[in-house]
Chain A
Amino acid sequence: GENVEQHPSTLSVQEGDSAVIKCTYSDSASNYFPWYKQELGKRPQLIIDIRSNVGEKKDQRIAVTLNKTAKHFSLHITETQPEDSAVYFCAAEGDSWGKFQFGAGTQVVVTP
């Protein structure tokens, strides 16, 4: 089955700097890769996703890149703000549609 590894586990950045989170996956058949943000005490919510026929996708200050050959994808947050502080999870849709493998999560702390 699918296995997703996520790094780093914690990330501290100064406000205004960029943050990058990287994930690798094992199943070459995976073709959908969402990113979820979970604020403290809240439910995870989708912030951006990418499909295997696209190499990069951008939405305002966040972007996701996908390298299918190397089987890794990354989340990029530019001009970080305190409200970006949260746990971020990457995921990959594995051999059964709708069935996702999640990474272990990255705690991002943005300090003013």
Chain B
Amino acid sequence: DVKVTQSSRYLVKRTGEKVFLECVQDMDHENMFWYRQDPGLGLRLIYFSYDVKMKEKGDIPEGYSVSREKKERFSLILESASTNQTSMYLCASSAGQGGGELFFGEGSRLTVL
């Protein structure tokens, strides 16, 4: 059974703190993604990666960075959290080169106070 696991379902952080969101997939997928989900805005792509050590900016990369040291793991980093980064964060993975199903994690709801 396909599985994408996000390390934390709920986090509460303070403004200025560094935040790590971890995502692990067990499907040997090449592609991994971080999305942000906000009501009325759908899913917006923050960063994605086609391979280990590779990363590409999505539509809203400002204030975020990512790390992909191993194929199965893709981390989202908020260097200095701000209140406008309070949101639901969804990790996803897919196989191959284009036109493939995205498999999502359960999501991490981050609140920045």
Contacts and interface: CB of A to CB of B under 8 A. Distances in A.
Interface residues of B, number: 27
Interface stretch (B44-52, B69-77, B78-86): B44-52
B94 to A, nearest CB: 6
Interface in B23-74: 31, 33, 35, 40-45, 48, 50, 56, 58-59
B110 interface: no
A46 B44 CA distance: 17
B90 A97 contact: no
B100 A44 contact: no
Given A45-B104, A93-B99, A98-B50, A105 B90 contact: no
Given A44-B104, A45-B104, A97-B99, A89 B58 contact: no
Contacts, number: 59
B86 to A, nearest CB: 18
Interface residues of A, number: 26
A43 B107 contact: yes
B104 A89 contact: no
B42 A96 contact: no
A93 B98 contact: yes
Q: Which 4 A-B pairs have the closest CB atoms?
A: A97-B98, A43-B104, A32-B99, A102-B43
20 contacts: A6-B42, A31-B99, A32-B98, A32-B99, A42-B106, A43-B90, A46-B101, A46-B102, A89-B42, A93-B98, A96-B56, A97-B98, A97-B99, A98-B31, A98-B50, A98-B94, A98-B97, A98-B100, A99-B45, A105-B42
